[in-house]
Structures are given as structure tokens and as C-alpha cells.
Amino acid sequence: MNLDWEKLRLFELVAEAGSFTEAARRLHMSQPALSRQIGALEEQIGAKLFHRHARGLAMTHEGEQLRSATHDMQDRLERTRQAIDASRDRPTGEIRLTTTVSFGSTWLARQLGDFLDFYPDITVNLMLSDYDVDLAKREADVAIRFHPPLQSELVQKSLVGIRHFLCASNEYLAKHGVPKTVDDLRQHRLIAYGDTAPDSLKGINWALELGIEGTARTAALTINNSHGVLQAVESGAGIAALPSYLIRFSGRVRVVLPEVDGPVFRTFFTYPVELRRSLRVAALRDFLVERMVPANLDIDRYALNA
């Protein structure tokens, strides 16, 4: 049953005034019109809300139940109004932020504590998925994406590019040798994201096609999550292409073939146009612009190859 908000507002005012006459005076409307509105509400609910007597009105049991609910609702609406007013002056409220599983669960998660220290009135709901959450349908508020937004109605702010490198563990290299050329990769186990990578991440398996024409190399192990690929590399399972932020996060993998330039994935902070003036979104955007820089995300490929 969908109750009419306007009729509930009128009911609350009648209950507060204690009579139709006084409520009608405060509302600047006729008493018969107000009585008809309350009568329509009673018909919709299927119960009488007021007993009429010589000195005015008394609420029925059902009326008292409804008054309790509408009073709570009024309080919540007032608190919401006050929160909205406060948010015009300082960043407050919840941000639902979505990004890929590997980036969000490693580098980004380690930064958000500082963000919350800077903005204690903001709460962050971090939603991790390698598939795009639909911002236009408000499944999330903002996103950090590794490709330009596919929906034209979204605002985008370009962030730092993320480089990829071939990596292996020292244990794997001690057992299988260090590849000296791209052609040597034929003799090594390769780990890849797999065919289930979403369209925006298809280039993540570039190592399978590196230096060859025609049929790509076959991965010995595929894992449908970059963080999982990192775990496999750390354990000595093989060689994989990893983004620089995961290499920094790990500290346990070594760059091989450092002269090879892997792809650079452009990153974007994106959100619906209706949030363009949101102070909390602006605060997060500016924080990410400051933090997502090469000094915090990139690596020295030759230093890690030592």
C-alpha cells in the first residue's frame, strides 16, 4: 500500500492541532476540504484515525500508531534536511566508490585511511568489481576506471597511467632460469588473466602475444583476477604481466626483460553529471589527483631487476 505523503502531512498537522478547525486555519484551507483529505486517508488505510467529540478530536488506536510513524518520519526528514544543509558548507555523507578488485584491495585501500582522516564527516563504501558498475543507474556514485568512460553522460577526470611489466619470483627464476630475450618466454610458464577478462581489460594479456605473430602463447595458468595472478607469481608458479602498483604492493617479485615496454592503462575518476557540485565527490577527486601520481604508483624497472 502506497500512502499519499501529502495526506500523511495533513494528518500529522490535524493530530498536532487537535481539531479540524484549528488545523484548517493553520493550513489556510477550508475545513471541509481538510476533512475530505483525512477521510480519503482513512479509507485507504481501512481504519478510523480520529474520534470526534464536543471538545475536538481524539485519536483512535490506529491513529496513534500512524502518528508515531509519521512523527518518526518527520524527525528523519528534518535530520536529512539538516545534513543536506551542512553538506553545502563542508564535505559530508557517504560515497559509494567502485574500481577493480586488484587496485581497490591493494593500493587504494591503503590510501583511504588518510582520506577519512582528512574528511571525518565522509564515509566510503568501496565496491570492488572487474566489471563496470553502472553509474548512470546509481549502482555506485563514483568510479576509478582503467579505460575512458563508455557512457557519454558521465564526467571524467584523467588520472595517472599505470604501466605493466613482466615479473617472476626469485624462486621461480632460480629453478627455471632468467629469460634473456622475448623468444625465451617460449620455454617458461606464463600466467594470465584468462579469456574471461572484461572488454576494458582485454589488453592485460599482452605477454601472451609479445614478440610473435599469429597464434598467441598458451598460458600455463589463468586466474580471473589480477591480485590472484600476483599470488601465483609470488609462489613461483610462473611469469606474468603485472601492473606497477601490484609490484610495489608485493615487494616480492622481480622484473624480467626490463627493456620490454608493456602497455600503459589510462585511469579515470568518473561520476554522473548530477554529482558535479557535490563537495564530497570533489574532495575525493582532489585527493586521488594528489595521490595517484607516478611517484606513488610507478616502479624503477631496472632497480627491481637487480
Q: For CATH 3.40.190.10, list the domain ranges present in the chain.
A: 93-161+268-296, 162-265
Tell me phi and psi for residue 221, to 5 degrees. Answer: -145, 130
Identify the pLDDT of residue 304.
61
Mean pLDDT of 26-42: 89
The dihedral sign for the CA sequence 289, 291, 297, 300: positive
- 3-state helix, strand, coil split of the chain in percent (to 5) is 45, 20, 35
Integer Cα distance of 292 and 284 in angstroms: 12
Q: Using the predicted structure, report yes or no on whether residue 260 has a pLDDT greater than 60.
A: yes
Superfamily of segment(s) 93-161+268-296: Periplasmic binding protein-like II (3.40.190.10)
Q: Which fold has domain 162-265?
A: D-Maltodextrin-Binding Protein; domain 2 (3.40.190)
Q: What is the pLDDT of residues 174-200, one digit of tens each?
A: 999 999 999 999 899 999 987 766 666
CATH number of 5-87: 1.10.10.10
Q: What is the pLDDT of residues 124-145, one digit of tens each?
A: 999 999 888 899 888 999 999 9
Identify the pLDDT of residue 129.
92
For the full predicted model, state whether its pTM sits above 0.85. Answer: no
| Confidence band, pLDDT 50/70/90 cuts, at residue 1 | low
- 52: β partners: 57
Integer Cα distance of 179 and 193 in angstroms: 21
Mean pLDDT of 239-268: 92
Cα distance between the two ends of the chain: 70
**Distance set, CA 258 to CA 1, 156, 172, 180 (Å):** 66, 32, 17, 10
Beta strands in 18-169 (DSSP E): 50-53, 56-59, 93-99, 122-128, 142-145, 154-158, 162-168
Integer Cα distance of 157 and 149 in angstroms: 10
Q: What is the pLDDT of residues 3-19, one digit of tens each?
A: 788 888 888 888 888 88
Q: For CATH 1.10.10.10, list the domain ranges present in the chain.
A: 5-87
Q: How many CB atoms lie within 10 A of CB 157?
A: 15
Identify the pLDDT of residue 268.
95
| Confidence band, pLDDT 50/70/90 cuts, at residue 23 | confident
Q: What is the pLDDT of residues 82-109, one digit of tens each?
A: 566 555 567 889 999 999 999 999 999 9
CA angle 158/149/262 to nearest 5° reads 65
Cell numbers given for 107: 593500493
